[in-house]
């Protein structure tokens, strides 16, 4: 059965663009109250405005860096103080690095990938857990198909996503039926990440046309809207894993 989201409270990290932004809109259409987190405040304000127009009765935003432990403590407290409860935590914030490992000059440039994707997600889960236990809520972890399947360029990114998967599989064992954990593994989705606006060894990701074509042959490029709809349906159903079948059809 599908969970009724009306009036429930959902915290989404990485809600200023891409999959997180569009998940906010899908939740809003269900009448969910929202706490939206990312670093870019202007973008968050825009997303909040649209989410209200789409049906969310109350939206708050927090500009924060999920790789900062104190920031995570602050925005989880803000959300719970404001709304009085927390039903879903969507750990979605993430950055990409794409490079050939042996060509890297300064490997320490990629430390933020683990800090944001893995540690950020762990920090937020740590602070949200007591609140989620009270509501028998859900954690949605946006990992990646590259946490399960490996190819060139993504050594550090894949490792960060595989680390997330191990962490959430373990939490599931520890928590039993108290909290539902949904591990989401998207394929190739058109967003700022895939448009090369984020981190790489040189400070930006370069995904050449040739590389892009090669990836799209395996993982058809999806829109963020389509991905968000697939994800929220699976979450409301209580799926443990969401891997859109066509994301994996070449296996």
- The size of the interface with ligand NDP (CB under 6 A), counted in residues, is 30
Choose one: 1-9, 172-180, 189-197, 233-241; the region binding ligand NDP (CB under 6 A): 189-197
Decide: is 123 part of the binding site for ligand NDP (CB under 6 A).
Answer: no
Cβ–Cβ under 8 Å, residues 158 and 150: yes
Decide: is 211 part of the binding site for ligand NDP (CB under 6 A).
Answer: no
Beta-ladder partners of 138? 88, 180
Q: Which residue in 79, 116, 179, 181 binds ligand NDP (CB under 6 A)? A: 116
Count Cβ atoms within 10 A of the Cβ of residue 78 and give its class: 0-12 exposed, 13-18 middle, 19 or more buried: middle
Annotation marks residue 157 as catalytic: yes
x/- mask, ligand NDP, residues 2-41, rule CB under 6 A, reads -----------xxxxxxxx-----------------xxx-
Decide: is 58 part of the binding site for ligand NDP (CB under 6 A).
Answer: no
CA–CA gap between residue 248 and residue 174 (Å, rounded) = 29
Name the strand (E) or helix (H) holding 59. strand 59-63
Decide: is 97 part of the binding site for ligand NDP (CB under 6 A).
Answer: no
Closest Cα to residue 128, out of 166, 162, 78?
A: 78
What is the β-pairing status of strands 88-91 and 33-38?
A: unpaired
Catalytic residue among 25, 27, 123, 157, which?
A: 157
Decide: is 188 part of the binding site for ligand NDP (CB under 6 A).
Answer: yes
> For the chain, what is the radius of gyration of the CA atoms?
17
Q: Which residue in 67, 110, 180, 200 binds ligand NDP (CB under 6 A)? A: 67
Structure tokens that stand for 203 in this block: 């400070």
Cβ 4 to ligand NDP, closest distance in Å?
Answer: 26
CA–CA gap between residue 48 and residue 41 (Å, rounded) = 10
Query: Mind telling me the catalytic residues?
Result: 157
Site for ligand NDP, rule CB under 6 A: 13-20, 38-40, 43, 65-67, 92-95, 116, 142, 144, 186, 188-189, 191-194, 198
């Amino acid at each position: 059965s599908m969970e009724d989201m009306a009036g429930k409270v959902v915290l989404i990290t990485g809600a200023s663009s891409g999959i997180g932004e569009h998940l906010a809109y899908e939740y809003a259409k269900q009448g969910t109250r929202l706490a939206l987190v990312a670093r870019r405040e202007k973008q968050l304000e825009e997303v909040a405005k649209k989410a209200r127009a789409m049906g969310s009765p109350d939206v708050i935003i927090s500009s924060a860096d999920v790789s900062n432990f104190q920031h995570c403590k602050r925005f989880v407290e803000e959300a719970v103080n404001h709304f009085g409860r927390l039903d879903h935590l969507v750990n979605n914030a993430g950055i990409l690095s794409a490079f050939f490992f042996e060509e890297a000059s300064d490997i320490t440039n990629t430390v933020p990938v683990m800090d944001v994707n893995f540690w950020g997600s762990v920090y937020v889960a740590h602070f949200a857990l007591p609140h989620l236990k009270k509501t028998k809520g859900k954690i949605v972890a946006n990992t990646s198909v590259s946490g399960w399947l490996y190819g060139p360029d993504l050594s550090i990114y894949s490792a960060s996503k595989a680390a997330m998967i191990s962490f959430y599989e373990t939490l599931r064992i520890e928590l039993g039926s108290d909290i539902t954990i949904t591990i989401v593994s998207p394929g190739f989705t058109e967003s700022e990440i895939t448009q090369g606006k984020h981190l790489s060894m040189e400070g930006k990701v370069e995904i050449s046309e040739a590389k892009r074509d090669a990836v799209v042959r395996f993982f058809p490029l999806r829109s963020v809207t389509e991905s968000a709809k697939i994800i929220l349906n699976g979450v409301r159903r209580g799926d443990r894993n969401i891997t859109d079948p066509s994301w994996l059809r070449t296996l």
